[in-house]
Chains A and B, each alone.
Chain A
């Protein structure tokens, strides 16, 4: 158990819809990272928050947004969903800092029908 909790585990929805993925980091970790894992792209970095502030953005679509709340949990919002958004979405947390290891949750599997 990594200590990172992601909900829900599975999401099935239709094109054009909006969903929210939730992540609770390990106790004491201030950094939260979101990654997308698809069959053809592997694991890709989306966005990083540290103590409530956005620190870095990767290849995140404009239809996607995230935030980190004062209690340090984070949410990833995906809107106007397309078939190609079907993937595993992982959250990872760390204490912060470049060399600090990132610990991953078990992910949310998003299926767009």
Chain B
């Protein structure tokens, strides 16, 4: 059974803290994605990666960075968390950019106080 695992389901952090959100997939997929989901705004793409050590900015990359040192792992980093980054963060993987089925993790709910 395919699986995308996000390390933390719920996190509470303080403004200015550095936050790491980890995502691991076991399907040997080339492509991995980070989205955030907010009420009324849907899923918005933060960053994606189509190969190890490769990354591309999505629609809302400001305030975020990513790391992909291994094929199965894609990390989202908030260098200095702010309250407007309180959101649900969803990691996904796929075999194709834009055309392949996205497999999502269960999400990480981040609250920044």
Do A and B pair up? The answer is no
